[in-house]
Amino acid sequence: VIEIGQPEHSVITTCAYCGVGCTFKAEMRGNEVVRMVPWKDGKANRGHSCVKGRFAWGYASHKERILNPMIRESIDQPWREVSWEEAIAHTASEFKRIQAKYGRLSIGGITSSRCTNEETFLVQKLIRGGFGNNNVDTCARVCHSPTGYGLSQTYGTSAGTQDFDSVEQSDVILLIGANPTDAHPVFGSRMKKRLREGAKLIVLDPRRIDLVRMPHVEASYHLPLRPGTNVAVLTALAHVVVTEGLADEHFVRERCDWDEFQDWAAFVADPRHSPEAIAELAGVPAEDIRAAARLYATGGNGAIYYGLGVTEHSQGSTTVMAIANLAMATGNIGRPGVGVNPLRGQNNVQGACDMGSFPHELSGYRHVSGDETRQLFESLWGVSLDSEPGLRIPNMLDAAVDGVFKGLYVQGEDILQSDPDTKHVAAGLAAMECVVVQDLFLNETANYAHVFLPGSTFLEKDGTFTNAERRIQRVRKVMPSKSGKADWEITLDIAQAMGFDMHYAHPSEIMDEIAALTPSFAGVSYAKLDAEGSVQWPCNEKAPLGTPVMHIDGFVRGKGRFMVTEYVATDERTGPRFPLLLTTGRILSQYNVGAQTRRTENVVWHGEDRLEIHPHDAEQRGIQDGQWVKLASRSGETSLRALITERVAPGVVYTTFHHPGTQANVVTTDFSDWATNCPEYKVTAVQVMPSNGP
Ligand code: SF4
């Protein structure tokens, strides 16, 4: 089914699924892919791949793909196919009409971590330069925005500190809220290899992920903490480091702000932060917390890897800062084998954030209020830029419900399915006068759209992705765009139709502009990427071939900054009506909401999402394995089938979110990270009861 003939030629390109960024040789017959072969020289994957990248590319030719632009007067009208010219002209005139009627700030846009750096850069340029405001956000809002905040505060920039090769020199791996063998399989394999060679593993996760115990790998400590208690446990780990004299004082004096360290050390040393004090709250034995802290602090090179189990909490940013503190206090930063490494779920989360698609930051994480930075962009773009931060995604939806935000351009993102509190998202979208969705399929958000612009897959365009280790890699066009335009060309056309002068003949010219405006990309060009295969930013005069490990001689902000991280319980509470805590995650064969992988052969490996429930909780409720159950929370309810397992602790249930029928976000709350509004997907109080199915 997968192979359709012998290849005639091949093109090297980069996987469009997870943040590992595997490179592949796309073997072609005419304009059709015959097979995807993992590229042996790929620096992120070294000839390996997982079932997603290797087999799940067929969605590009799926019959449900929309290939012609469509418009409709209102969302209860049928779609009407139109020419590209009409669709672009209609989009531009609607956005201009709305701004004339409701003001400059009444429209905005959302870009995607699935798109290339160049496409993301153009969307934020269109919004800042063409719309005249900073109402731009990215789907990183709902995953790694706390990484951006937390690492910027402590280290001065928002990025993983290490390259993937670094894991080969790690002696102790502290894995927090991440499941690499499912979500980042190729890097998960490298981690597994290092563990088989003898490195020690500590896992902080409410669920017993595979790495806790598998053939030839066993975690030294699994701390199955109660969802929502990350900060309490990390502060308790720090308490042990400080009170048992395990801090690396030499490193801290040399590299960090000593006064801030002392304030922080006094804070964590308080007995209320001891493992004994928080053991009951976290549901983890105090002696395991003590032993894990000792191992991380004294076991040699200690490396921290984390995922969305850290960020998608009301204290997501605080958790990232607690992690950064721990690494600094133990001197585990600034050399190979150590560091703090967010594992990015989507292929270009790192890049989307780097490119300035946040409402408060221009590319390279520079605040929009900075006069000097703004002037640099203004002189190149020939427009005045707003110095006030714009609206984040949830604020755009709130403003729409309030009747003051009326138009939205959504590139490559299904906010109705991905964002929390589905009813509120729907109400916000329904209140707008012009929603423009640019995507491959008629997704759930498109139900509320007035214009649909058919996007292009990664196989149909040129550009770059930046993976979780800051590695910038080429995406190469292997076939013509099936809809006639690559995504960057669509954004360009909208800008021109709105009277904002943008001209590029090829994405390489967009990268040249990114390099001219962004110090950490100053040395990046397509010629260099083609010659070197890839480079890791910062790539500039000081580091012309890039930077595998960051913060070697000093932190980006100068001295490392310790931040006091007070644990604050989430407002989401269990009680008699909703006594269990729901948390969520991914599975190997599927990707996010499944829009692509469900439209490939991979669907046979994971036909539905199941609700994992502990045997004790199942028995109490009379639930049998495989039986349909109703999952209800204060926000809503959905149905799925039960999977009885001791992977989850009593009191905790777990599901994946790959199938639209599951509607996990009907259940999740609207609580979010205090600093970034990243939704608290990982903690929802629920009840589970037998049902007859949906
Ligand atoms: Fe590699 Fe991730 Fe793609 Fe799998 S999904 S092939 S691990 S980039």
* Backbone φ, ψ for residue 356 (5° rounding): 80, 35
Return the pLDDT at 115. Answer: 92
- Virtual CA dihedral for 320, 592, 461, 483, nearest 10 degrees? -140
Return the pLDDT at 592. Answer: 67
Residues forming CATH 2.40.40.20 domain(s) in the chain? 580-690
Pick the atom of ligand 1 nearest to 17's CA: 5
Confidence of residue 658 (pLDDT cuts 50, 70, 90): low
8-21 pLDDT tens trace: 889 999 998 889 99
Residues forming CATH 3.40.50.740 domain(s) in the chain? 70-142+347-459+474-536
Higher-confidence residue of 138 and 69: namely: 69
Residues forming CATH 3.40.228.10 domain(s) in the chain? 145-342
Q: What is the distance in A from the centroid of ligand 1 to the CA of 473?
A: 14
Return the pLDDT at 308. Answer: 86
Q: Where are the beta strands (DSSP E) in 79-193?
A: 80-81, 107-111, 136-138, 172-176
- Residue 127 makes CB contacts below 8 A (sequence gap 6+) with 108, 109, 133, 134, 135, 136, 390, 409
Task: Check whether 57 has a pLDDT greater than 80.
Answer: no
Task: Check whether 327 has a pLDDT greater than 70.
Answer: yes
Query: Is it true that domain 145-342 has CATH number 3.60.21.10?
Result: no
Higher-confidence residue of 608 and 358: namely: 358
Return the pLDDT at 593. Answer: 62
Pick the atom of ligand 1 nearest to 50's CA: 4
% of the chain at pLDDT higher than 90: 75
Task: Check whether 650 has a pLDDT greater than 60.
Answer: yes
Smallest CA separation from ligand 1 atom 6, residue: 53
Pick the atom of ligand 1 nearest to 467's CA: 8
The C-alpha atoms of residue 442 and residue 661 are separated, in whole angstroms, by 16
Smallest CA separation from ligand 1 atom 4, residue: 50
Beta bridge partners of 687: 632
ipTM of this model?
0.99
Amino acid identity for residue 520 in this structure: S
Q: What is the distance in A from the centroid of ligand 1 to the CA of 43?
A: 13
Higher-confidence residue of 595 and 638: namely: 638
Return the pLDDT at 607. Answer: 66
Asked if 467 and 344 count as a contact pair (C-beta separation under 8 A), the reply is yes
* Backbone φ, ψ for residue 587 (5° rounding): -125, 155
Q: What is the distance in A from the centroid of ligand 1 to the CA of 185?
A: 7
Reported pTM: 0.91
Task: Check whether 3 has a pLDDT greater than 50.
Answer: no
245 torsion bin: left (phi>0), alpha (psi -120 to 50), beta (else): left
* Backbone φ, ψ for residue 69 (5° rounding): -60, 150
Return the pLDDT at 113. Answer: 84
Q: What is the distance in A from the centroid of ligand 1 to the CA of 670?
A: 31
Residue list, ligand 1 pocket, CB within 6 Å: 15, 17-18, 20-22, 45, 49-50, 52-53, 184-186
* Backbone φ, ψ for residue 300 (5° rounding): 100, -145
Return the pLDDT at 329. Answer: 98
Closest C-alpha among 160, 203, 191 to residue 48: 191
Could you tell me the sign of the dihedral formed by the alpha carbons of 364, 148, 361, 468, in that order?
positive
Mean pLDDT of 300-327: 93
- Residue 525 makes CB contacts below 8 A (sequence gap 6+) with 508, 511, 512, 515
The C-alpha atoms of residue 174 and residue 295 are separated, in whole angstroms, by 10
For ligand 1, mutation pick of 13, 17, 457, 587 (most atoms within 8 Å of CB): 17
Closest C-alpha among 511, 537, 445 to residue 119: 511
Mean pLDDT of 571-591: 85
73 CA to centre of own chain: 34
The C-alpha atoms of residue 156 and residue 365 are separated, in whole angstroms, by 9
Q: What kind of fold does domain 580-690 have according to CATH?
A: Barwin-like endoglucanases (2.40.40)
Return the pLDDT at 1. Answer: 40
Q: What is the distance in A from the centroid of ligand 1 to the CA of 144?
A: 18
Mean pLDDT of 216-237: 95
Q: Where are the beta strands (DSSP E) in 384-477?
A: 407-411, 434-439, 451-454, 463-466, 471-475
Lowest mean pLDDT among 94-103, 281-290, 338-347: 338-347
397-451 pLDDT tens trace: 999 999 999 999 999 988 888 787 788 899 999 999 999 999 999 988 999 999 9
Architecture of 70-142+347-459+474-536 per CATH?
3-Layer(aba) Sandwich (3.40)
Q: Tell me if residue 640 falls in helix, strand or coil.
A: strand
